[in-house]
Structure 1
Amino acid sequence: MVKNAAAVSALVAGAVLGAGGWTAAGPAGVPTAARTAAMAGHTQGVVVSKVALKVRSKPTVYSDVVALLRPQQYVLLNCVKRGGWVQGNPEWYRLQGAGGWVSARYVHNLQPVRAC
């Protein structure tokens, strides 16, 4: 219970960096912390790639990799911006707190995301 409270506090502050990247998944994959953060005004999404998703320093596949996200991992999205095309999709999400970018092709937003 104390772990969940700490995770929620860190998410609301926008600074969660777990093993392999940002996370909002609670016990047994239940996104309880993500729901709490979403209620606090943050937009959430889920990684829909089948392999680890690269978090980039800029919204292009040519920029540096700064972290990796696991498939089905919940993330907090700050905003959306056009960048380099990834399999027909030019949109990229800026992750809340840590400042990396992920292709919208591999992240499903669970609420509308504001423009950057």
Structure 2
Amino acid sequence: MKKTVWVCTLAAGLALGPMTASGWAAQQHAPVAAAAPRAAYPVGEVVSDAPLNVRQRATVSSGTVKVLRPGQRVLLNCQKRGGWVDGNPVWYRLQGSAGWVSARYVHNHQPVRSC
């Protein structure tokens, strides 16, 4: 009889798991907070009708390093004030590129930190 009780106790213990506050049984009923994945960098979308020049510095008189097409999505590293473009002095530094685009022609979908 002792062997039967011991086997039943062992089986129940394996099925339930540890019953301590940090054990599997306690964790099984803890609420799980679903964290939404967050992009490492904010996304911006080119809203110009024509191709948009990416500049070496935050000014229209700076050299062009590449060109973005209308509707293209880009990652924005940070923002700062630069040369005014149609009443807007804000420029975005692109992530992964040594270049700047005017905020006048790029819509940010999330807040962008300052440089």
Range class of TM-score, shorter chain: 0.5 to 0.7
**AA paired with 1:91?**
V
Q: Equivalent residue of 1:105, what SS?
A: helix
Q: Equivalent residue of 2:57, what SS?
A: coil
Runs of 4+ in 1 over 4 A off after TM superposition: none
Q: Equivalent residue of 2:104, what SS?
A: helix
What is the correspondence of 1:1-116 to structure 2 with a 5 Å cutoff?
A: 39-116=38-115
Larger Rg: 2
Q: Distance in 2 between matches of 1:40 and 1:54?
A: 25
Q: Distance in 2 between matches of 1:97 and 1:39?
A: 18
Q: Equivalent residue of 1:63, what SS?
A: coil
When the two structures are aligned, how many residues end up with a matched partner? 79
Q: Distance in 1 between matches of 2:68 and 2:50?
A: 9
**AA paired with 1:109?**
N
Shift of 1:42: 1.2
Name stretches of at least 5 consecutive residues in structure 1 with no aligned partner: 1-37
**AA paired with 1:86?**
V
**AA paired with 1:47?**
V
Q: Compute the TM-score of the two structures, normalised by the length of structure 2.
A: 0.67
Q: Which residue of 2 aligns with 1:24?
A: none
RMSD: 1.1
Name stretches of at least 5 consecutive residues in structure 2 with no aligned partner: 1-36
Shift of 1:41: 1.6
